Structure 1
Amino acid sequence: MNTVDEILDYAIDQEQQAADFYASFAARAEKAGMKKMLLEFAQATKKVCLQ
């Protein structure tokens, strides 16, 4: 990674992976509160990617 664009692309990719991680765990969560929290994490993380 040498350019700003490469660094930003990497950071966005990492944020997307985190959002996917939270969403996948939310899909398997048995407790409603845990599912809600994980989905909120996923949504907040995706917002970072869109900014």
Structure 2
Amino acid sequence: MEAKDDDGNTPLIYASCNGNIEGVDSLISAGANIEAKNNNGFTPLIIASKRGQLEVV
């Protein structure tokens, strides 16, 4: 669950930036780190905000 790609993105970051509410809920319930940062220093919350994913935020 805390695996990262070459850019440091976690599954929670991907779910957040794509507006996948069910995925976000499932990952958080399973213990995903909501403060994990990618290589640019962005958390899932920051990325969701930048992408306009208000339901995720």
**TM norm structure 1:** 0.28
**Computing the radius of gyration over CA atoms, which structure comes out larger, 1 or 2?**
1
**TM norm structure 2:** 0.27
Richer in helix (by share): 1
